[in-house]
């Protein structure tokens, strides 16, 4: 992958993806993540624009005075990726929010990406404001005077330290367009008075006192932690934030709408709502007598008024079973959903304690903290570097059911919890959080909601809540479009983007197992990408880069190797308007079209024009075709088994720049279900061919012929992988062996076409259709349960026709890791039928025999026997070999004496048989005394793209 550099409005580098290899000597210096990071930091200082910043241990710092320093802050492991974080300091003080993170492969310590919020140049405007270290306490009156505003219950104010702040006028205080969300109905946060400091200007650096205190955001609200950065000389507040995040009116946990589409609300009775309850284990509870809802990750706690007693049961074996319209039911939901947040991450392979290293466990969860307010909150701790607690209110004011019963609300709050520990803020900087996306994606598989794209369907049943994840660019919902902002407008743009990604990788499949797999992968990448972040950013491309790094550095997740999805990630953001001039912070919000594709984007068209909408059938790429001679013909011919055949591939460029060094690598494989790359694929006799020159944007080139010899009658799998400088195929990024249905559809560089080779003797064709073998493979490194389902045309089923599975285990059996099994399919005869019934079946499209294979419930592949009722003289009209008895160019394997093939009466290439003739063959009967020739029956073995 080509090096990608993203800059902010100051021209500073904020993200580098796939940085160029270090030119410095390495050898033993890369033995630990910290040593490797120090090495990379020195190597990349010029690239990062940090030539004026030195490492803390650099001896050149002696006597350097106010030279900025990059000081090691932390090291953590995020699902196999090492992240080493540096804090920028000057004059002995932290530069506020200025950090740099090195993301490295956990095993090789190879550098994958760098995120930086460090400043290229720092000139402190008020150096005389530097004060001795130490905590200074402030009384309430002094705090009110200092801030120039008064909030309810202001208390516990102190100056912990000083920091250096780069002043940004538009970030001085939170935007006021979501006050109702932050504090609930009736809250009106006061605005800061205008600053008095002379010469105060955007981009200048000032020493500030960091004032930490507690205060409520409205009368009757619970206190939360706050941070203010105050310039000491003038007393101006240059930065103010409440360390809290929340979501208004979010209600749900596989709620009735998602379960069945039911028309109910939080005002419905127990008789209506109770049937939607389901029994779940209260995981992680710490045994006690009596047993409270308190576990290793979360605990139900009474942190705020109003007081509401939490339920208990006599012992650890008790059941927290309550009617829906009770406080106890809300409390039980609150524990289960909040615990599931952290337990899901644990199940996905994350080290929860390391990921949330600023959070104290178990996290207190107050299911009635916000009273009747339709609200939820995820406040940060006093230092703003971890989650303090989770707070919830009601779903509908005046009703008993609380908002904590909705797992979509809880997932939304978790979006903030993920950010607190990693970027020390509840928000990204370019969007509110990824919470809406997590709630939408994880609840979509199997959802029966009437509107799939309503983010909080149960909330909408009782309140006028309009949060969606199908927002259109045309309506202003582009990245940096008219309706985007850094809070909820940005969150809906982000959730639409991430939901598009989920749909593309399997969320739009009709199979539940595939939907679930796509949802889990999407959530995993969100978790990991946030874990790789080191600071907030106004530039969404930084998060795109972290998502791609998360994919490429994942050894395996749910049996799927990493490195297969990074192109789909970029495309999802491109479709929502990112990656184009004018789409940047500080620019006019006028984006009204999709973004630009990558500079170089070569592809083999599978019908999607190089894009990544969900594709179930990935094995029928029409820009790959075969010829029996290397004649450059443009239409497909079914090759002959045992004879040299020739594949051609058309490559296109949808990128913005000419593609250099374009080549195609060609492979073929024996038929089967569950093929894995690269294990089951072999290079063709002609393994690779290159284009004669650059490929211009929008242009195409045909590469070929690629020579190969098909060996199996009825089916052969062909694959082509295009490469270009700056756009290699994913065969170079995958972390090991990958099932083809999780490989081909997610890289437009890759094309696959399954073809039907013909053996030129009628006896072999008859034998093929009397019984047929397929191979079922397990591409995973764990045991799976394989299941084979056979579907005949309905009219044949009614007449008693059947396909029997004559193999050990029958239609359902276990396959060990990487194991394969031959399955025999045998068609048995039913009652006869007449021509009219055949014609009627054709008109109804009732003309396929389908064999589908499932691995652990997920469709992995199959076969389709297309019964062609038409009579035709030729399946390759107009081709040069139609009326020619000469062998293909290069001849048959054993020389000219093998040509023409010895057939009963006339050449195989005569005409296509009728349906009645095919059925006679399948029954083992003769056709007109055995004298009628058959060209071939179209046979496809399909590998479903799920």
Instruction: Tell me: pLDDT of 883 over 70.
Output: no
The pLDDT value recorded for residue 125 is: 94
User: How are beta strands 771-777 and 939-940 bridged, if at all?
Assistant: unpaired
pLDDT in tens, 130-156: 998 888 899 999 999 989 888 888 999
In this predicted structure, what is the pLDDT of residue 725? 97
- Distance, CA of 224 to CA of 832 (rounded, Å): 80
Instruction: For residues 468-472, give the mean pLDDT.
Output: 96
**SS3 call for 766:** helix
pLDDT at 867: 57
Each residue's pLDDT tens digit, 328-359 = 999 999 999 999 999 999 999 999 999 999 99
Torsion on CA atoms 438, 444, 447, 452, rounded to nearest 10:
100
Identify the helix (H) or strand (E) that includes residue 917. helix 915-923
The predicted-structure confidence for 644-665, as pLDDT tens digits, reads as follows 999 999 999 999 999 999 999 9
Q: What local confidence, expressed as pLDDT, does residue 108 receive? A: 84
267-294 per-position pLDDT tens digit: 999 898 888 788 778 888 888 888 899 9
pLDDT in tens, 292-341: 999 999 999 988 888 888 999 887 878 888 898 999 999 999 999 999 99
**Once rounded to an integer, what is the mean pLDDT over residues 12-29?**
70
Q: At what angle do helices 835-843 and 915-923 cross, to 10 degrees?
A: 110
* CA proximity to 230, closest of 160, 146, 170, 306: 146
Q: What percent of the chain has pLDDT over 70?
A: 83
d(CA 396, CA 403): 8
CB atoms closer than 10 angstroms to residue 177: 12
* pLDDT for res 602: 98
Convert the pLDDT of each residue in 418-468 to its tens digit.
999 999 999 999 999 999 999 999 999 999 999 999 998 877 676 667 889
d(CA 453, CA 476): 17
Peptide bond into 900 cis (omega under 30): yes
What is the rounded CA–CA span in Å between residue 543 and residue 13? 14
The DSSP element (H or E) to which 656 belongs, if any, is none
What residues are paired with 124 via a beta bridge?
Answer: 205
Q: Tell me if 388 sits within 8 A of 361, measured CB to CB.
A: no
CA angle in degrees (0–180, nearest 5) for 246-251-254: 130
* DSSP state string for 141-173: HHHHHHHS---TT-EEEEEEEEEEEE--GGGSB
What is the chain's Cα-based Rg? 32
- Residue listed under structure tokens 């397990």: 778
209 pLDDT higher than 90: yes
pLDDT, tens digit (0-9, with 9 covering 90-100), for 486-513:
999 999 999 999 999 999 999 999 989 8
pLDDT (tens digit per residue) in 704-746: 999 999 877 667 889 999 999 999 999 999 988 898 888 999 9
For the beta sheet containing 771-777, the strands, ordered from the edge strand earlier in sequence to the opposite edge, are: 771-777, 820-828, 802-805
Residue 877 confidence (pLDDT): 37
Model pLDDT for residues 897-933, shown as the tens digit of each residue: 333 333 333 333 334 445 555 555 444 454 444 433 3
């Amino acid at each position: 992958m080509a090096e990608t550099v993203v800059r902010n409005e100051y021209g500073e580098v904020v993200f580098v993806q796939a940085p160029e290899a270090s030119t410095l000597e390495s050898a033993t210096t890369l033995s630990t993540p910290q040593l490797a990071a120090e090495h990379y930091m020195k190597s990349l200082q010029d690239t990062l624009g940090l030539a004026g910043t030195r490492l803390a241990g650099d001896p050149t710092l002696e006597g350097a005075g106010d030279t900025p320093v990059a000081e090691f802050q932390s090291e953590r492991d995020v699902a196999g990726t090492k992240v080493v974080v540096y804090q920028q300091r000057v004059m002995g003080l932290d530069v506020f929010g200025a950090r740099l993170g090195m993301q490295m492969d956990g095993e090789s310590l190879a550098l994958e990406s760098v995120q930086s919020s460090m400043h290229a140049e720092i000139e402190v405007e008020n150096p005389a404001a530097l004060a001795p270290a130490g905590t200074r306490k402030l009384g309430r009156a002094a705090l009110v005077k200092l801030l120039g505003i008064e909030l309810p219950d202001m208390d516990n104010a102190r100056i912990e330290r000083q920091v250096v702040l780069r002043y940004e006028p538009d970030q001085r205080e939170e935007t006021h367009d979501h006050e109702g969300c932050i504090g609930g109905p009736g809250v009106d946060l006061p605005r800061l008075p205008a600053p008095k400091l002379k010469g105060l200007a955007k981009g200048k650096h000032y020493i500030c006192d960091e004032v930490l205190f507690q205060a409520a955001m409205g009368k009757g609200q619970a206190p939360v932690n706050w941070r203010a950065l105050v310039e000491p000389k003038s007393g101006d507040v240059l930065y103010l934030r409440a360390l809290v995040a929340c979501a208004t009116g979010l209600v749900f946990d596989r709620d009735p709408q998602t379960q069945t589409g039911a028309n109910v609300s939080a005002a419905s009775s127990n008789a209506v709502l109770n049937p939607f309850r389901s029994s779940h284990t209260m995981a992680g509870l710490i045994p006690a007598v009596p047993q409270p809802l308190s576990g290793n990750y979360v605990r139900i706690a009474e942190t705020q008024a109003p007081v509401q007693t939490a339920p208990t049961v006599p012992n650890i074996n008790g059941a927290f079973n309550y009617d829906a319209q009770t406080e106890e039911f809300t409390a039980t939901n609150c524990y289960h959903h909040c615990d599931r947040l952290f337990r899901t991450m644990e199940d996905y392979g994350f080290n929860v304690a390391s990921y949330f290293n600023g959070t104290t466990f178990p996290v207190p969860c107050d299911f009635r903290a916000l009273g009747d307010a339709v609200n939820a909150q995820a406040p940060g701790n006093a230092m703003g570097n971890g989650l303090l607690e989770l707070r919830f209110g009601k779903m509908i004011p005046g009703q008993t059911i609380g908002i904590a019963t909705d797992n979509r609300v809880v997932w939304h709050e978790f979006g903030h919890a993920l950010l607190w520990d990693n970027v020390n803020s509840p928000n990204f900087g370019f969007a509110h959080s990824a919470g809406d996306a997590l709630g939408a994606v994880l609840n979509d598989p199997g959802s029966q909601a009437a509107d799939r794209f309503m983010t909080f369907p149960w909330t909408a049943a009782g309140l006028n809540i309009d949060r969606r994840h199908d927002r259109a660019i045309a309506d202003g919902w582009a990245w940096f479009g008219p309706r985007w902002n850094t809070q909820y407008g940005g969150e809906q743009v982000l959730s639409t983007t991430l939901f598009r990604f989920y749909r593309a990788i399997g969320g739009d499949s009709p199979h539940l197992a595939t939907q679930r797999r796509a949802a889990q992968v999407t959530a995993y990448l969100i978790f990991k990408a946030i874990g790789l972040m080191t600071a907030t950013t106004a530039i969404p491309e930084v998060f795109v880069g972290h998502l791609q790094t998360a994919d490429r550095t994942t050894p395996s997740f749910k049996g799927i190797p990493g490195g297969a999805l990074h192109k789909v990630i970029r495309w999802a953001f491109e479709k929502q308007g990112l990656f184009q001039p004018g789409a940047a912070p500080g620019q006019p919000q006028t984006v009204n079209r999709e973004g630009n594709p990558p500079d170089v984007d070569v592809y083999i068209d599978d019908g999607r024009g190089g894009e990544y909408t969900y594709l179930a059938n990935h094995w029928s790429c029409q820009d790959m075709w075969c010829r029996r001679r290397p004649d450059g013909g443009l239409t497909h011919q079914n090759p002959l088994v045992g004879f040299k055949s020739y594949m051609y591939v058309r490559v296109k460029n949808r990128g913005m720049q000419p593609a250099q060094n374009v080549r195609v690598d060609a492979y073929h494989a024996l038929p089967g279900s569950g093929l894995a790359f690269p294990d089951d694929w072999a290079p063709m006799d002609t393994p690779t061919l290159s284009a004669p020159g650059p490929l211009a944007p929008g242009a195409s080139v045909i590469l070929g012929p690629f020579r190969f010899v098909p060996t199996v009658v009825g089916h052969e799998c062909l694959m082509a992988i295009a490469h270009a400088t700056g756009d290699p195929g994913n065969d170079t990024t995958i972390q090991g062996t990958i099932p083809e249905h999780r490989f081909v559809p997610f890289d437009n560089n890759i094309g696959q076409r399954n073809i039907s080779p013909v053996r030129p003797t009628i006896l072999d064709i008859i034998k093929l259709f009397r019984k047929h073998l397929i191979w079922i493979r397990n591409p995973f490194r764990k045991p799976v349960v394989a299941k084979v389902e056979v579907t005949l045309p309905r009219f044949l089923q009614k007449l008693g026709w059947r396909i029997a599975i004559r193999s050990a285990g029958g239609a359902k059996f276990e396959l060990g890791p990487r194991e394969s099994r031959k399955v025999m399919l045998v068609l048995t005869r039913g009652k006869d039928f007449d021509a009219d019934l055949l014609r009627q079946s054709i008109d109804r499209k009732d003309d396929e025999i389908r064999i589908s294979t499932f691995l652990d419930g997920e469709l992995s592949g199959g076969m389709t026997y297309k019964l062609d009722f038409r009579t035709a003289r030729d399946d390759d009209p107009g081709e040069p070999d139609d009326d020619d008895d000469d062998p293909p160019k290069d001849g048959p394997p054993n020389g000219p004496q093998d040509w023409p093939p010895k057939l009963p009466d006339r050449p195989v290439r005569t005409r296509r048989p009728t349906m009645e003739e095919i059925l006679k063959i399948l029954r083992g009967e003769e056709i007109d005394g055995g004298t009628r020739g058959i060209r071939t029956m179209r046979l496809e073995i399909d590998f479903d793209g799920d």
